[in-house]
Amino acid sequence: MSERQVTIASRVGLHARPASIFAEAVGKLPLEVTIAMAGAPVDDAVDASSILSLMGLGAANGDVVVLRAEGAGADDALDSLVTILETDLDA
């Protein structure tokens, strides 16, 4: 299983527009991707393609989240998702 930690860059965190952009990118991948707050138990991870789940995390600007995926291409997929989260999508 591949895993990445990333700091949320969007000023509003993973809310509304940033969550929508991120969920859409995850939904285009042929992999199941989960996201959780850093330090949370693995069981607390949610489906990263769900806007409601993303907003339910309550991830704010500067918070660290953990992305996980398994399968062929997982490393490249997570790298592209990290780039999205490291960008202020509200700028």
Q: Does 36 qualify as catalytic in the annotation?
A: no
HEC profile for 40-89? CCHHHCEECCCHHHHHHHCCCCCCEEEEEECCCCHHHHHHHHHHHHCCCC
- Active-site entry in 6, 13, 15, 65: 15
Contacts of 53 (CB under 8 A, 6+ apart): 35, 46, 47
Active site residues: 15
